[in-house]
Structure 1
């Protein structure tokens, strides 16, 4: 991911949190825990992943608006940004 160090740190922290939560969900299922508890924890994983994705898209948008280029050396188009947002919707 191309971005500033602060954005990368935020995204990585969110992904690590989601990783831990997902391991917890797997463990809960293996232990036969209550469905409500499993679904609640799974929803938390989903939110953590969504937040990480939105942070990545927001960083890309900021780079596009400030004139930074994408990986292929060309500015990101409005259509590319729209596609990124819709991917998370």
Structure 2
């Protein structure tokens, strides 16, 4: 009788354990879709920020244009000044 009772307890505990495992697996699978959607939203946000910063008319373009215009002016001035032969190298 005690063997029968132990066997019944073992089988019941295994059924409960498997049921819990199956529910956990089902929960984790259900959240995979949500995680993918969350990653897609983050990627879209980062892409929008990158386009806003580096796109045409963005602040990076303005800084680069200003910097290169300034360099061009300075180099042109230096070249024009060295053509007069007045300075030492």
Do both share a fold (TM > 0.5)? Answer: no
TM-score, scaled relative to structure 2: 0.37
Higher helix share: 2
Structure showing greater radius of gyration is 2
* Higher relative contact order (CA closer than 8 Å, sequence separation 6+): 1
